[in-house]
């Protein structure tokens, strides 16, 4: 589907973005394993002008986002931020094993994973001119993981938000990720981008209001969790109570189980 003038998406697990310029294209995320990576590369080639360069970046190091790079042509330019690459070096193999253990299909899809070292590694910001569209790659701090990358496409004002801004989806902090407070700090920086379109990786695309919705939800859960902690309520009871409260307040959300997120607030 088309998200904005220069941004296309393959909807799935996860949603994958393809940003198209006049001289180059960029894929955001690889899909789960090389076979999915090859499919994305094929779609990118179809959308690209002749002789276009192909860039690849990843929102974070988890396998459905980053373990398919071996399916891309060898000439693909892989670019990601340093914190994400450090996480990949430290936890990449272990999380791959966890994912392989989840089903026979995932085991097969993740059989020939060969994780590449990035061609370009940056600290907290990089900019890639694709011709008529500029991609800003940004690391704003720790949220879902330590190394979450935000991708902002200009002039479209399209944010490819990974797990950091989702649509009516309870936030999830992965093992070794940030805290609710660091996540909020990241969201404050994202809000300054003034996005017009948001493409999350595991939920439906929406407009820029998704950013404020994410801030409101995390703030609500965190404020209540801190209050219940102060009253000495055990964390499991607080999780149940706040999940029920959020269900009443966020009626359109399919699931408001925030037990894990409440644990993260208690642990801040």
Residue 163 Cβ, how far from Zn ion at the closest point, in Å?
5
Instruction: Looking at residues 133 to 162 of the shown chain, list those that interact with Zn ion (rule: CB under 5 A).
Output: none
**27 or 238: CB nearest Zn ion:** 27
For 102, the 3-state DSSP assignment is coil
Q: Tell me the window of 55-63, 115-123, 178-186, 227-235 that interacts with Zn ion (CB under 5 A).
A: 55-63
Distance of CA 211 to the CA centre of its chain: 14
**130 or 199: CB nearest Zn ion:** 199
**6 or 60: CB nearest Zn ion:** 60
Residue 144 Cβ, how far from Zn ion at the closest point, in Å?
6
**64 or 156: CB nearest Zn ion:** 64
> How far apart, in Å, are the Cα atoms of 110 and each of 27, 69, 76, 106, 226?
19, 11, 20, 6, 40
Query: Does 62 contact Zn ion by CB under 5 A?
Result: yes
For 54: left if phi > 0, alpha if psi spans -120 to 50, otherwise beta; the answer is beta
Residue 198 Cβ, how far from Zn ion at the closest point, in Å?
17
Strand residues in the chain grouped as ranges (E): 2-4, 7-10, 16-20, 24-28, 53-57, 77-81, 120-122, 125-129, 134-138, 150-154, 158-162, 197-200, 206-207
**62 or 222: CB nearest Zn ion:** 62
Number of residues that bind Zn ion (CB under 5 A): 1
Residue 60 Cβ, how far from Zn ion at the closest point, in Å?
5
Residue 3 Cβ, how far from Zn ion at the closest point, in Å?
20
- Beta-carbon count within 10 A of 175 CB: 9
Residues making contact with Zn ion (CB under 5 A): 62
């Amino acid at each position: 589907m088309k998200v904005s003038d220069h941004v296309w998406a393959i909807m799935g697990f996860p949603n994958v973005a393809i940003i198209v310029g006049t001289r180059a294209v960029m894929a955001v995320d690889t899909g789960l394993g090389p076979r999915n990576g090859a499919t994305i590369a094929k779609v990118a080639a179809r959308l690209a002008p002749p002789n276009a360069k192909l860039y690849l970046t990843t929102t974070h190091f988890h396998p459905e986002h980053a373990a398919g790079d071996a399916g891309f042509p060898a000439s693909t330019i892989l670019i990601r931020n340093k914190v994400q690459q450090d996480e990949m070096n430290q936890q990449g193999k272990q999380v791959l094993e966890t994912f392989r253990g989840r089903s026979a299909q995932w085991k097969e899809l993740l059989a020939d994973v060969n994780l590449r070292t990035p061609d370009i590694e940056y600290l907290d910001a990089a900019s890639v001119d694709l011709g008529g569209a500029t991609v800003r790659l940004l690391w704003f701090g720790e949220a879902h993981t330590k190394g979450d990358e935000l991708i902002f496409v200009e002039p479209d004002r399209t944010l490819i938000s990974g797990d950091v801004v989702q649509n009516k989806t309870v936030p999830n902090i992965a093992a070794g990720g940030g805290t609710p407070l660091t996540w909020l700090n990241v969201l404050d920086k994202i809000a300054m981008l003034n996005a017009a379109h948001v493409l999350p990786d595991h939920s439906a695309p929406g407009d820029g209001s998704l950013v404020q919705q994410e801030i409101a939800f995390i703030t609500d859960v965190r404020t209540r969790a801190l209050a219940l902690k102060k009253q000495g309520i055990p964390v499991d009871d607080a999780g149940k109570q706040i999940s029920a409260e959020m269900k009443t307040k966020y009626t359109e959300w399919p699931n408001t189980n925030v037990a894990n997120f409440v644990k993260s607030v208690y642990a801040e």
